[in-house]
Structure 1
């Protein structure tokens, strides 16, 4: 394989962008495990009392990721996130105004490999969420195990991540004054196995829990589609029915998260590595779907709203696809 090296005269700003993305990939994939190692070293070393004190802290603070987390505007405004946004770059597009006196449930699509669009738009302040949607505060829900690592949980709560659980979503959507946005990546980690460049497959037909939560809280549903999300990495071919896909699905059931075999570019060359490609991401926020509160929705109520959501999601995609490089004849596939 011929290796394409990066030129030496790259502007400093682009190098800063690459560094910002490198630290993000490291944080996403390895920082939690590193924090685990530090915790264990402290526990069995001379500074065991630090781990002991932290365990005491966890005892009293265990529910925080389920009750809105503990965001820090200082962390969300770190300059590194500006460079992270500019690397791709990431754009947030509004299609209509949202009333800040209400709480909303955003359904984010597609998952992609590492959900860069969701992170850039809802965990940092550099794509203009506050200006586009004044009075609204986004909470991005993630897998519970991501918030189980010692020390690491404190860091990712600072950027606005909370647990993807019924209790957590209910807490966000229960704000009496409104102004909260529960952002759920609907396809989940399972959808990451379909995150190939050009893929338009969404894992959503059996995903109805978010519909029930919207009904129980009367929260308007807002479809969100992030164009470019699946183009950030390449993945080893794993069509459904293949031995690799079967193994990945079995591992997912055991571990609770998927393991896509992906690659991107490197730091000093463009041929291979774990860094995403410089592909623009355009995250389009659709029109809200009015939802009448129903504390005990029937299966028929859920199915009706689910179908309406699918129609609005497809409409959002079709209205914007040509703007962002998707041919007119291409359409979404729901599985």
Structure 2
């Protein structure tokens, strides 16, 4: 029997604050939505039923906000807790070229990872300096619509800059005045089921909707690769075709979210738990791929620019992989 490796009793305060910051983030992702929903239901059935009812009515009136750019809060994005969150891994955001703040952009984020820690840290907070690196640009991270059906939790999610991943939401961002960045983890829930150390297979070949919408508005596509994203957790083996993967696929279609069975380390020991490993994440933002404005793009045009986007993403990966510990023989693959 292998005994767990326990954390030292004496650790610097900064390390403890980093662990607490990541613990609250993991708990928010896994439990906060359900807790907020339970509190709302209990309030409706208790002495706070009137405020809860009024909030419920307001939810109906506000239901389109996640598809209309959300309701970001500069105050929430600048919370000091996100600096501790950043330093836990740590996370860094790397700009390869400056971007014009008078234009809109689509950032394709790869890989998704289990919980998309790099996407959250870089684009839902200011901890890694997005506003300093890309002055005048305002990021919106697209996520599954189901999160915005959870009362109270939706307000917290939108405060960080999260918006719905529906096509109408992306179109709203790109149709507006310049300065918005739509960040999309293009692999989505299926890619989360394959996120494990060393994985370089991206779910991209059948995901062409973002190219079609970008062509419609003539919006540049910017490849983003987050080195280290897949190193944060281990998963229970679930190869394609296995019973576990089939079950996960059915649950994903039913619930709309991926349910990877992941594990890493704990709060007081390093052998097992739901906290991510302390592994550096380096998120590299590539140069924009300029697209023509085509109001009604054909299937051939979509495939052409999708192929060019994949080529740009592969070039970005190859250019930077040696700096971040990826062996030279490793290559990206697309499915």
Please give the range of the TM-score, normalised by the shorter of the 2 chains: over 0.9
Q: Give structure 1 stretches of 5+ with no counterpart.
A: none
1:332 Cα deviation from its structure 2 partner: 0.5
1:286 Cα deviation from its structure 2 partner: 0.5
Looking at structure 2, the residues matched to 47 and 137 of structure 1 have their Cα atoms a distance apart, in angstroms, of: 37
TM-score, L = length of structure 2? 0.99
SS in 1 for 2:193: helix
Instruction: Please identify, of 252-261 and 99-108, the stretch whose mean Cα deviation from structure 2 is larger.
Output: 252-261
Q: Is residue 2:320 matched to residue 1:320?
A: yes
Q: Is residue 2:113 matched to residue 1:112?
A: yes
Looking at structure 1, the residues matched to 261 and 278 of structure 2 have their Cα atoms a distance apart, in angstroms, of: 19
1:54 Cα deviation from its structure 2 partner: 0.7
Asked if the contact 1:264/1:276 (under 8 Å) is kept, the reply is yes
Alignment of 1:1-335 (within 5 A): 1-176=2-177, 178-335=178-335
- CA deviation vs aligned residue, 1:116-146 (integer Å, no higher than 9, x gap): 0000000001101111111111000000011
Asked if the contact 1:190/1:257 (under 8 Å) is kept, the reply is no
Q: Give structure 2 stretches of 5+ with no counterpart.
A: none
1:266 Cα deviation from its structure 2 partner: 0.4
1:179 Cα deviation from its structure 2 partner: 0.8
SS in 2 for 1:125: coil
Looking at structure 1, the residues matched to 217 and 184 of structure 2 have their Cα atoms a distance apart, in angstroms, of: 15
1:172 Cα deviation from its structure 2 partner: 1.1
TM-score, L = length of structure 1? 0.99
Looking at structure 2, the residues matched to 37 and 175 of structure 1 have their Cα atoms a distance apart, in angstroms, of: 36
SS in 2 for 1:127: coil
Looking at structure 1, the residues matched to 10 and 241 of structure 2 have their Cα atoms a distance apart, in angstroms, of: 46
For this pair of structures, how many residues does the alignment match?
Answer: 334
Looking at structure 2, the residues matched to 161 and 69 of structure 1 have their Cα atoms a distance apart, in angstroms, of: 7
Looking at structure 1, the residues matched to 47 and 85 of structure 2 have their Cα atoms a distance apart, in angstroms, of: 38
CA RMSD, 1 decimal: 0.7
Asked if the contact 1:95/1:286 (under 8 Å) is kept, the reply is yes
